[in-house]
Structure 1
């Protein structure tokens, strides 16, 4: 191959490259998708946990939904009120009220209160244990303490306490909902951060065996319901349930509950009434 052929081939390739490059440049301008700069600003304002608790696929999805007007500016539970305020400023709207929530475990059925039906020696996972006849606990609604919730928490906010029951650190909890979703017993729920009263039972059965299975089980007696001055607690499907919009943390239900299935910080009432 002589030098002229090589030069000709190189020239042709150079011209073709120039033509293709010019074509791509023109196409990129013609078909470019305009990106609202507010999307990037909202993305910068959120904490970047990518937990999906907002209901969207990660922080990018949430940021796009906010700018489109689909998601509320206070829709990031991890960021909380400060994050909502920043996003509201970006969007030129009001942040609105956003009540901080935390996860709480509705069970006090540790080994002192609730025994086992059989010895479980399988995978250390609540999800796995639940597949074996509902797990080893006498109460088939209670926390098994095998840590599936701990594994999915990105914020180190939930742990298995010394009694073998899952417990939440409210200061670390971001209400991302991961522990709520993974729990096969539905024994974890989100409650307002300032709420001190909780029904620490998840048993919907009724009858004498309920108390035999767990010493602190709700027996659906209705004493809490009859004594609440704010109509904030009712027995529904054999289990006491609190309406947090009405509850004032007066602790009367805590004092009256015969099985101590309702938990609360009684010192608060002492301070307020002193």
Structure 2
């Protein structure tokens, strides 16, 4: 009986000491968590895509709370939730949120199977990363789309698919959240995030080929040849030519489409614009109209004389 009592006392004492140690440690090494973190995290979409530049939504929530303490949320944006989500977060943190223009992924390659024919056959691992590491790919263009669909695999929102006819990826504007996963996945860096623009209209150069004009055209009939006609035509200085390829700054572009009209290779594309109106030929002048009957009269008199 004494042994049982002693065991109970000893075990009870050990449990009491352990409880005291645990309590002291919990107080000493406690990590304070701002209660706003949970609230902000619930307001975020929970996609954990990393498009905001932070490791998941929890990282974004932490950054938002810290930014609010500093007095500004500038530079922080959730591409999936967009302006609506950021507005809710700003209200929760008692901050004003600057309006951010929606972005969308665009594919800067127009080298379809027809315009950029295959010159070789690749037999290795069917990924863009692997093919790019082996060389130029299956065409003579060392800058264009490789067509293996790494961007498709990277997209968590089913917003990008390969077009079997053209061999190029196509972005669904309605589904694209501008998270940037496809941009990071492309080893050729042909996918870019651009502003959707008013009425979802955009003008951009659909080529990244840095070869000189003759070489670029030999590889792809739709390549930018760096001729500079677009830059000369642009009245807003929105176009620059670097490394033999044109680039349109979407912050300066006013969507006048003058550059598209002068591009000799159709490397510049305009998206979601209404079709251009066909040119109407100028009507004949009065002198030309009068000349026609006179000519007909002379021919009639000539026939009568011959008869």
Please report the TM-score for the alignment, with normalisation by the length of structure 1: 0.91
Count of paired positions: 269
2:24 matches 1:22: no
Measured against aligned partners, the alpha-carbon deviations of 1:80-120 in whole angstroms (never above 9, x if no partner) come to 10111011112211110211111111001121010223101
Specify the alignment match of 2:167 in structure 1.
164
Q: Any idea what SS the aligned residue of 2:134 has?
A: coil
Q: Which moved more, 1:29-38 or 1:157-166?
A: 29-38
Specify the alignment match of 2:214 in structure 1.
208
Specify the alignment match of 2:73 in structure 1.
72
Matching of residues 76-115 of structure 1 within 5 Å: 76-115=78-117
Matching of residues 160-239 of structure 1 within 5 Å: 160-162=162-164, 163-194=166-197, 195-239=201-245
Q: Any idea what SS the aligned residue of 2:106 has?
A: strand
Asked if 1 retains the 8 angstrom alpha-carbon contact of 2:213 and 2:226, the reply is: no
Q: Any idea what SS the aligned residue of 1:94 has?
A: coil
Asked if 1 retains the 8 angstrom alpha-carbon contact of 2:104 and 2:196, the reply is: yes
Unaligned runs of 5+ in 2: 278-307
Tell me, in whole angstroms, the C-alpha distance in 1 between the residues paired with 2:150 and 2:46: 23
Asked if 2 retains the 8 angstrom alpha-carbon contact of 1:250 and 1:269, the reply is: no
**Residues 240, 188 of structure 1: CA spacing in aligned structure 2 closer, same or farther, 3 A cutoff?**
same
1:141 to partner: Cα distance? 0.4
Tell me, in whole angstroms, the C-alpha distance in 2 between the residues paired with 1:18 and 1:134: 71
Tell me, in whole angstroms, the C-alpha distance in 2 between the residues paired with 1:52 and 1:22: 42
Asked if 2 retains the 8 angstrom alpha-carbon contact of 1:233 and 1:240, the reply is: yes
Asked if 1 retains the 8 angstrom alpha-carbon contact of 2:205 and 2:269, the reply is: yes
Q: Any idea what SS the aligned residue of 1:191 has?
A: strand
Tell me, in whole angstroms, the C-alpha distance in 1 between the residues paired with 2:143 and 2:36: 46
Unaligned runs of 5+ in 1: none
> Which of residues 142, 145, 154 is equivalent to 2:156?
154
Measured against aligned partners, the alpha-carbon deviations of 1:5-62 in whole angstroms (never above 9, x if no partner) come to 1332133112211331233224323432221111111111111111222222211111
Please report the TM-score for the alignment, with normalisation by the length of structure 2: 0.82
Measured against aligned partners, the alpha-carbon deviations of 1:228-274 in whole angstroms (never above 9, x if no partner) come to 22222222221110011111222221122110001114743759xxx
2:65 matches 1:59: no
Tell me, in whole angstroms, the C-alpha distance in 1 between the residues paired with 2:136 and 2:84: 42
Q: Any idea what SS the aligned residue of 1:197 has?
A: strand
**Residues 6, 266 of structure 1: CA spacing in aligned structure 2 closer, same or farther, 3 A cutoff?**
closer
Asked if 2 retains the 8 angstrom alpha-carbon contact of 1:225 and 1:231, the reply is: yes
1:192 to partner: Cα distance? 0.5
Larger Rg: 2
Asked if 1 retains the 8 angstrom alpha-carbon contact of 2:213 and 2:244, the reply is: no
Tell me, in whole angstroms, the C-alpha distance in 2 between the residues paired with 1:96 and 1:269: 35
Asked if 1 retains the 8 angstrom alpha-carbon contact of 2:226 and 2:246, the reply is: yes
Matching of residues 25-36 of structure 1 within 5 Å: 25-36=23-34
**Residues 231, 46 of structure 1: CA spacing in aligned structure 2 closer, same or farther, 3 A cutoff?**
same
